[in-house]
Structure formats: C-alpha cells, structure tokens
C-alpha cells in the first residue's frame, strides 16, 4: 500500500511591481490639473502574492451539492462509551459520503499523488480535532491517522493527509486510487459509506 511522504515545498520569491507609468506620479499640464480626474492609483493591488506556503490549501471536491451542517453521526458500534467526552466521530463506526479529488499539496504539508491511498477529512473534523490549536495545519494530530473505509462489501485503509471544505463532518474525499478500491469512478459519490479509525 503506497504511503504519502512529506516533501519540501519551495516558496516562489516575491515579485516587484514593474517600473511603468502606472506606478509613477505623472506630471500633467496646469490647465488640466484644476479639474479632478480619475486615475488608476486608486485601483487596489492584489495581495495574494504575499501569502506564505504555510497557508492551508483547499482541496477541490467533485461535489455539486453544498455541504450539510454538522450533525450527529449515525455510528452503529463502539460510540456508546462516552468516557472521553469528545466528539462522536472520535470513536465507533461513522457513516458519510465518499468522493474523490485530484491530489497535490495537502493541508498536512504532504505532497500527495493520485496513486497514494490517502483521503481528506471534513474541515469540521480537521479544524476541531482534539489537540489541534488552529495555528499550523501541518501539526494537526489528525495528520497521518489511518482510517478503514467500507462501501458495499469493499474496503480500503487510507491515511489522512488533507482537509475537505466541501465535506460534511463524516464525509471522506479520497485520492483516485483509494476511491477505485471502493467503487468505479462513474458512481461519483458513495452514499452510505462507513468508516472507522484504525
């Protein structure tokens, strides 16, 4: 089973503005200076080039529907102890939808490949996982946890390496290789998929 390994990611250097008329104050003739004119200097400049590589990348889900609000899971076993007092998705069998996406740099700081057996968990689960302080997603304790997913008699064990913004709390967004172990790509969305932590 392929395992995702962290790879260093190089940040692109900051680009400076070009030396053009737009970036300089241009002298105008005295006759036209009495009448105010619209100038491009009030045009906002994009700031996205200043982001650092520690920002959280967002995986693209192949879902056309919007995500539902977080709800209790339909756990069928092992979730009744309640001794930890944590979220219901920490123990027992969970039920949700399964989708697949094109992999890449994940929220855990790992460069994933479509051939890796990985998945993205819901942003609701990722952001509220016990022990995660919300500062650096690469240090989230959910990263590299393993999950065994089941669908219609087939199963696959995956490693959590990413965060899915289009997923409900117990949905999983698989790499293509992991998804293909459960169903054909033509199915698209696996309603009623179950999973549990390994």
Answer yes or no: is pLDDT of 127 > 70: yes
- Give the lowest-confidence range in 9-13, 43-47, 94-98: 43-47
Q: Give the DSSP per-residue string, 14-42.
A: PPPPP-SGGGSPPP--HHHHTS----GGG
pLDDT above 90 covers what percent of the chain? 53
> What domains appear along the chain, each with residue ranges and CATH number?
90-197 (2.40.40.10)
Q: What is the mean pLDDT of residues 13-24?
A: 53
Q: How far is CA 86 from CA 33, 92, 146, in A?
A: 67, 12, 19
Band of residue 90 on the pLDDT scale cut at 50, 70, 90: confident
Determine how many CB atoms are found less than 10 A away from the CB of residue 95: 16
**Average pLDDT rounded to a whole number, residues 133-137:** 93
Q: What is the mean pLDDT of the chain?
A: 75
- Return the pLDDT at 125: 96
Per-residue pLDDT, 86: 76
């Amino acid at each position: 089973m392929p395992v995702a390994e962290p790879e260093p990611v190089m940040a692109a250097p900051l680009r400076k503005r070009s030396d053009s008329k737009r970036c300089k104050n241009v002298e105008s003739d005295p006759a036209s200076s009495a009448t105010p004119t619209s100038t491009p200097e009030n045009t906002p400049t994009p700031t996205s080039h200043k982001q650092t590589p520690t920002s959280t990348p967002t995986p693209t889900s192949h879902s056309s529907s919007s995500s539902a609000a977080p709800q209790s899971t339909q756990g069928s076993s092992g979730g009744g102890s309640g001794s930890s007092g944590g979220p219901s998705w920490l123990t027992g069998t969970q039920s949700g939808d399964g989708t697949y996406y094109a992999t890449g740099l994940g929220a855990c700081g790992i460069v994933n490949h479509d051939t890796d057996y990985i998945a993205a968990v819901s942003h609701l689960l990722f952001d509220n996982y016990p022990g995660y302080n919300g500062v650096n997603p690469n240090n989230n304790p959910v990263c590299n946890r393993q999950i065994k997913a089941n669908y219609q008699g087939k199963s696959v064990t995956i490693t959590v390496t990413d965060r899915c913004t289009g997923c409900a709390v117990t949905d999983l967004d698989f790499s293509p290789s992991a998804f293909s172990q459960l169903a054909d790509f033509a199915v698209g969305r696996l309603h009623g998929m179950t999973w549990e932590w390994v």
